[in-house]
Copies of this chain bind each other. A is one copy, B any other.
């Protein structure tokens, strides 16, 4: 395999971007808010119990375990977010809070290294007895990620040592050898984390354990079947929904050729599989990643970069089954899809992976959080009618307003840790290449081979189509600056230091191979028109409909701009799509307006009639999907009907 490209360290990337900074700037407040949640100090929200659980396990507080069996992971994701934030923004008070939390976590650790408050408090003596349902290895995975991030950010190894002790116990517990448990996690996550830990520590056994989990998964006889047939095993999960595909054990990983089951589990799993495939040079594993990724992107992904079209089991359903009003499309699943895509991009150097990564990040991940940074969506439909979604028991999972917190609060910290680490998605580098994957205004420093390079990107992408990149080196720096041509953009021209450049497009990247010296200015002009998107005609929910995008930003209609019954709009194929930048809306955004039709309320209250509905001319105003529901409750719609003849 070709050498895998690497992200730049977060501390090397300073973002100041029109599209992103309004969200990233909310990270410190978001971390504070989450800390309050983890300590059950938010009013009128479901209790978290997180820190309570750790304090009880640490002997610092009396009480019982509260919350879900995977509650610990919320603390871990918060710590990981804190770490990413601290890496670029020194904040002694926050760091002190985190250090104190780490001490509590350390005290909650059992003598043999075991660290999971659910089993310590709620089911003592039952560790590892329910790998399928109880998320022990999942929580361990999140703590590994937190520990590595905190170590990278602060240089402090207290958490890393705590976690390594725990992982050493896990290594001693799991494996194919006599006396070890030949199992694997019901909720994958630890696989990708173990590879991070391997890189942070150089300990090969961590990679070996990740590989073991991947290799063992789906092998007959299934460990989960053995486990569930043991006396005393109980599970409240309906086996019609929580079946083998749900847990991605329906086949060995190398033989899985569709994206099945719980969407977050699936994409966390294949993120880790991609890591293991690369680290072990295993082409058959990498092939499975490519196949599953392609299945997602070609048949099972929403235009907004979300996945998991079925609510029952929060899972993938079937090819081309993409209902817009009842889907799950969990925020976490888009976070995970971006992670999976990032691995594939680094390994395959193909912009098709960056397209998906960008899509998930620009649309669903951002839709998951309010512009104020303190309200969250877990589920991300593309069509909402509050009067119906709030009443229908089939849409119980759809919230029509972002929530303050959740009893199962995986999404908020997942979004925050993603925002805090956006810098990792922008560039990929190796000794001879600097790939620009995403167009955010930022300044970055990096080493390309032995040369120090600084890059300053200025752009109003995706609202404007120009990008200026200043490349500075002190000495001769022969390397390739690879500029991604975004999926919905066309290249108009590239000018390097005033001279038009005619470069080759390779796997979606425009490659400027130069001996860079001093300061060069690269000016890119994309054509980034608003585009009409049509779905594959096999997508029953979207047939006869059209959606608008500008670059990665998917647009939607909202009731605040367009009145109610958005489904009544028709957008003619020849309607002019007028772009207008509104400085005041959502902190500044490009809107799109178009003349179309809207079925008129003709006063006929009958449910069925023999005359077709009358329609009248109507203007439509579109806003980026990620901003919906920042102006109160109302309808929202991404896929608009085309004009009926």
Interface residues of A in 545-592 (CB under 8 A from B): 546, 565, 567-568, 570, 572-573
Could you tell me the distance between the alpha carbons of A642 and B644 in the complex, rounded to whole angstroms?
6
Identity of the chain B residue whose Cβ is nearest the Cβ of A569 in the assembled complex: B543
Assembly CA distance A325 to B318 (angstroms): 14
Q: Please name all residues of chain B whose beta carbon is closer than 8 Å to the beta carbon of A320 when the two chains form the complex.
A: 388
A392 to chain B minimum Cβ distance, whole angstroms, is 4
Asked if B539 and A607 sit within 8 Å, CB to CB, the answer is yes
Q: Check if A608 sits within 8 Å of B534, measured CB to CB.
A: yes
Does A613 contact B534, Cβ atoms closer than 8 Å?
A: yes
By the criterion CB–CB under 8 Å, are B534 and A645 in contact? no
In Å, the complex CA distance between A369 and B269 comes to: 45
| In the complex, chain B residues whose CB is within 8 Å of the CB of A313 | 393
Give the dominant DSSP class at A's interface: loop
Separation in Å of the A394 CB from the closest CB of chain B?
4
Q: Within the assembled complex, what's the spacing in Å between the Cα atoms of A396 and B242?
A: 12
Do B645 and A609 touch (CB < 8 A)?
no
The answer for the CA separation of A103 and B530 in the assembled complex, in Å, is: 77
Q: Mark A280-301, 1 if CB is under 8 A from B, else 0.
A: 0000000000000000011101
> Which residue of the partner chain, among B387, B394, B604, contacts A310 with CB atoms under 8 Å?
B394
Residue A544 at the B interface, CB < 8 A?
yes
Complex-state Cα separation, A567 to B531, whole angstroms: 24
Is the CB–CB distance between B396 and A241 below 8 Å? yes
CA distance A316 to B466 in the complex (A): 52
A642 close to B642 (CB less than 8 A): no
Q: Does A68 sit within 8 A of B, measured CB to CB?
A: no
A48 interfacial by beta-carbon distance below 8 Å: no
B644 A544 Cβ-Cβ under 8 A: yes
User: A532–B326 Cα gap in the complex (Å)?
Assistant: 29
Given contacts A641-B544, A644-B544, contact A608 B536 (CB under 8 A): yes
How many copies, total? 2
Contact (Cβ within 8 A) B610 A312: no
Residues of chain B with a CB closer than 8 A to A609's CB: 533-534, 536
Does A248 make an interface contact (CB < 8 A)? no
- Beta-carbon contact of B536 and A605 below 8 Å: yes
Is there contact, CB below 8 Å, between B396 and A645? no
Contact pick for A317, options B297, B311, B388, CB 8 Å:
B388
Q: How many angstroms between the C-alpha atoms of A572 and B320 in the bound complex?
A: 26
Please name 25 pairs of A and B residues whose Cβ atoms are closer than 8 Å in the assembled complex, sorted by A.
A298-B607, A301-B607, A312-B393, A312-B394, A313-B393, A315-B393, A317-B391, A317-B392, A383-B540, A385-B540, A388-B540, A488-B610, A533-B610, A534-B609, A534-B612, A537-B568, A537-B599, A543-B568, A544-B570, A544-B641, A546-B612, A573-B612, A573-B645, A642-B645, A643-B645
**18 additional A-B residue pairs with CB within 8 Å, beyond A317-B394, A536-B605:** A297-B607, A309-B394, A312-B396, A317-B388, A323-B326, A385-B540, A534-B609, A536-B604, A536-B606, A536-B608, A537-B601, A543-B599, A544-B570, A544-B644, A572-B645, A573-B612, A573-B645, A612-B642
Q: Which residues of A contact B (CB under 8 A)?
A: 240-241, 297-299, 301, 303, 309-313, 315, 317-321, 323, 325-326, 383, 385, 387-388, 391-394, 396, 488, 531-540, 543-544, 546, 565, 567-568, 570, 572-573, 599, 601, 604-613, 641-645
